Amino acid sequence: MILLMQLSSAASYAIDLEYNNKAFSLISSGITPVNIPAEEIIDEIPYQYKIVSFESEILEVGYFILPYQLTERAVNGTIVSGEIIILDPSNLTIYPKYYDNAKSIEIYDANAKLLSIDVINYAKNLCGDGICQAWEAGKCFDCGAITEKPTAPQEKKSTEQPIAGAESEIQNILGNPLVWMIFIASLALIILVIIILKRKKESPYEFIP
């Protein structure tokens, strides 16, 4: 039986994988807007991927095959048997449909999960729809994770009056010790002059200091 991979008219993931000794490892991942042609899936060698959302919901299930070589045996020009040989090791690329709320892509064989691929970085920021998705917390204001937008610091208006500025200047002057020294010296000189003039007025003789 042959199945066809589901086609998508939207973008797809481009997942580059390495297959070695029956195990998968991720080489690289990305997004491609190009429609991917259908691929034949032979049910004798099925591999499966599941696209998982942030809420652990299965968004899509798809199938893919490994690179293989087909050998045939013919008798008198008629093919009587054939064999599919899986190429191990080999590299391949799968193209799951893109979902903007996908968290991971998981790779399975018929028995168990073989690999989980993180695609969180490709999730779409949906805060604009007013719904806070699990992966959007703290990324925007519309989804309610942040209640207030940060505001730029406002310049503080000065409330000081001109008189307050003058008082501050006076205090600076009075706090200067040099000003006090000049004031005391001037006061002493004035007192000395007053004493000299007083003595000169009281003495009948010329007063020579």
What is the rounded average pLDDT of the residues 83-105?
A: 90
Q: Where are the domains of the chain?
A: 2-118, 125-151, 162-202
| C-alpha torsion 137→143→148→150, nearest 10 | 60
**pLDDT at residue 130 is higher than 50:** yes
For position 191, what pLDDT does the model report? Answer: 83
Backbone angles phi, psi at 89, to 5 degrees: -85, 165
Q: Is 17 exposed, middle or buried (0-12, 13-18, 19+ CB in 10 A)?
A: buried
Residue with the bigger pLDDT between 41 and 193: it is 193
Which helix (H) or strand (E) segment holds residue 105: the answer is strand 102-108
Give 97's DSSP letter: B
Question: Model pTM?
Answer: 0.55
Check whether the bond before 89 is cis (ω within 30° of 0).
yes
Position 2 scores a pLDDT of: 34
